Structure 1
Amino acid sequence: MLFSYPIDALGDNWLNALAVDLMLAGMNAIDDGAEPAAWPGCLPANRREILAQRTGLRSKLACLFERYSQLPMADRPDVQAAIIRQAALPNVFNDNAPCPTIHSLPQSIREPASDLATYLFGQLSSIKEGNGFLRDNQYSAIYASKIRVCPFCGLNYFRAPGAPRHALDHLLPISRYPFAAADLRNLPPACDECNSTYKRAIDILVGNDGLRRRCCDPYLGPTYRITLEGSEFFNGNEIGGYTLPRWNINIVGQEPDRAHTWDAVYQIKTRYTRDILDADFLSWIAHYSRWFIREKGRDHDAAAVAAELPRYIEGVVQDGYADRAFLKAEAFRLLDSSSRDPQIGEDVRQWLWGFVEYAT
């Protein structure tokens, strides 16, 4: 991730933990030869009023308990262990220990577990806390912190609260990890492209090689920055008759294994190269050319044209993530350093001068 969400956006993150407590308490009672506590007395007093009339929660818990009671005693600890482990956020993001999926559970438990998970997830948009629903309160707190761009890609803007909702991205897919279905820590907002085109139902904890991997905690990081160090001018793809740099996307920061997960799931390097740098670099150069002419006029040699690059980077290219400035600034830093390279600098300066000379 490029940046993390404010932890106070999780202020209303109680539903999943409550459901886990109810499940474990009921299962422990069954193990002791008793019945799960009666409804609604099993609910904590501070949530009883808001949940007592939600018969869907009552019936789905009852179905899960019935199936659990039919399991052999030897199979029951695995069910409780899966519930506890899947709900252990953010530890699951941070460690390398296995996390059992729904497919490791007895067949009879899978359907009621999935039904309960789907129901709980839906309740995030149904249960009101203060002035808004649980998921809307999370998003409003994030938006109020001035976050306007998706931190998973830095490319796409978020819609304002009240506009049609972005999908909530289950980092741990609900189809594999149902017991984290309604934990807002597992549901960071993401742009539609990141969520629907790239993340989808990919298991963020297990790579294509079947090995356990770690991922970024969307609220604590780690976070990373992007550089283009090592990119090579005149060695990339040909666009519009020009040979572009061969882009080398570097993800810089601590714990590179988590950065690798981020890139593998969201295809960061591919998207930055294909969708932004190859697609926009020539238009960025054209903008620089027009800016240079407005500032300095046309009658300047290649060295003078290149000499203004640092001032353009400092004064024109915005900081941060608006309008993909973090990539644009890196591209111009590459252009500046390449223009001073003892081997290719003259060629780069002449290349840039040609854009200024023929700008309209």
Structure 2
Amino acid sequence: MFFTYPIAATNDNWLSSTLLAVLHDALVALQHGEEPLGFQASVPEPYKSEFARCHKFPALYGAFVETCRPLQAEQRDDIVLALAGQNQFPELFAINAPSHGIAGTLPTVHDAARSLFEYAFGKLSDLKTPGSGETVRGRYHHLVHDHFASGCCPFCGLEIMEAPDPDLVDPDLDHYLAVSKYPFAGANLRNLTAMGTNCNRSYKGAQDILLDEQHQKAECFDPYGNEHVTLSLDGTVLLPGGGAGPAWALTFDPDLKSLNWRRIFKLEARIRANVLEKQYQMWLKHFTVYAKRNGIDIAGKDGAIEAIAKFKATCDMESLPTVARLKASFFALVENALNDPVGGDRMHNFLIESA
């Protein structure tokens, strides 16, 4: 990821933590041969009034309990492990961590949990933390928007997400671990990420972020962690010859850990088609206009070198972070080529022709 989410945005996580505790207590009661409490009786006092507004919770909770009632003790132990394990953030992102899925072994329990937590996820837009004037989702949206200086999706750095405004539609709130596979994390803010519409609907969808294309456990970023990916055009050949445009090379650091993220979000293809091939000639025009407006004559190579050195410092003013990084990297390559005693004249001629 190019940047990460503020952990403060997960503070109002009482809906998920309450549901998980209620289900855990019901499973423990069944294990001891006792009758679980009713749903509303299980909810802690501070949240009773909010849960009471959501009329489907008791029935969905009851359906979950009934699917667990006839099971063997060992099976209920597996459910307890899944309930905790699917919410073990950030430990579950480790490549050797188990995924704790139960869809294959206990499909009816999985489906009951999914129904409950999908309903709970929808209620994030309605319920308010006691004492707050905003819904849980509204508060989350404000905190994330304030944290992201560019307002861009951190998975691509190319798509602006809508700002908090009553006249605008909130950005997609993606289940980082898909609710279809990890239902117990379906309302956990630690598993939810505001995401650009294209990234969410066209690329990620319900793909399992923890698995690679061979369905093996893969390296995975923690969206609320501190690890960021850097991007450059190191290795690009600007003038490959034969009248061809640049032979682009994209360098991500870290490389291996970012591989699955890049695959799921089709980053290389999107960057090549939508940014590099589409915009690099426009960038060159930006450069020539800049040089002219600043009175720098690029007809001579020394003038071109002076102009490039000054112009590349403006590239980080691009509003889209990924475009800013690529543009700065592109002109760093141009500057190196101009200063190359062997290929400098060729690059200078290319800049003059592009003007």
Residues 279 and 20 from structure 1, CA distance in 2 versus in 1: closer, same or farther, beyond 3 angstroms?
same
Whole-angstrom distance in 2 between the partners of 1:207 and 1:322: 27
Secondary structure at the residue paired with 1:251?
A: strand
In the alignment, is the contact (CA less than 8 A) between 1:96 and 1:214 conserved in 2?
Answer: no
Residues 313 and 299 from structure 1, CA distance in 2 versus in 1: closer, same or farther, beyond 3 angstroms?
closer
2:158 aligned partner:
155
2:239 aligned partner:
234
Shift of the alpha carbon at 1:99? 0.3
Provide TM-score, normalisation by structure 2: 0.92
1:218 aligned partner:
223
User: Counterparts of 1:157-306 in structure 2 under 5 Å?
Assistant: 157-162=160-165, 163-235=168-240, 243-253=244-254, 256-296=255-295, 300-306=299-305
Summarize deviations over 1:79-137 as a string: whole Å, max 9, x none.
22111111112221235212032423323223212211211111111112312111111
Residues 299 and 214 from structure 1, CA distance in 2 versus in 1: closer, same or farther, beyond 3 angstroms?
closer
Whole-angstrom distance in 2 between the partners of 1:317 and 1:168: 28
Whole-angstrom distance in 1 between the partners of 2:329 and 2:197: 26
Whole-angstrom distance in 1 between the partners of 2:202 and 2:343: 39
Shift of the alpha carbon at 1:325? 1.4
Q: State the identity %.
A: 26
In the alignment, is the contact (CA less than 8 A) between 1:20 and 1:179 conserved in 2?
Answer: yes
Whole-angstrom distance in 2 between the partners of 1:193 and 1:209: 24
Q: Which aligned segments of 4 or more residues in structure 1 are displaced greater than 6 angstroms?
A: none
Shift of the alpha carbon at 1:342? 3.7
Secondary structure at the residue paired with 2:252?
A: strand
Whole-angstrom distance in 2 between the partners of 1:49 and 1:138: 21
Whole-angstrom distance in 1 between the partners of 2:314 and 2:190: 38
Deviates more, 1:151-160 or 1:303-312: 303-312
Deviates more, 1:181-190 or 1:86-95: 86-95
Aligned residues: 350
1:73 aligned partner:
73
Summarize deviations over 1:68-89 as a string: whole Å, max 9, x none.
0112333222222111111112
In the alignment, is the contact (CA less than 8 A) between 1:78 and 1:105 conserved in 2?
Answer: no
Shift of the alpha carbon at 1:322? 5.1
In the alignment, is the contact (CA less than 8 A) between 2:156 and 2:267 conserved in 1?
Answer: yes
Mark the runs of 5 or more structure 1 residues left unpaired by the alignment. Answer: none
RMSD across aligned C-alpha pairs, in angstroms? 2.1
2:143 aligned partner:
141
Whole-angstrom distance in 2 between the partners of 1:56 and 1:145: 34
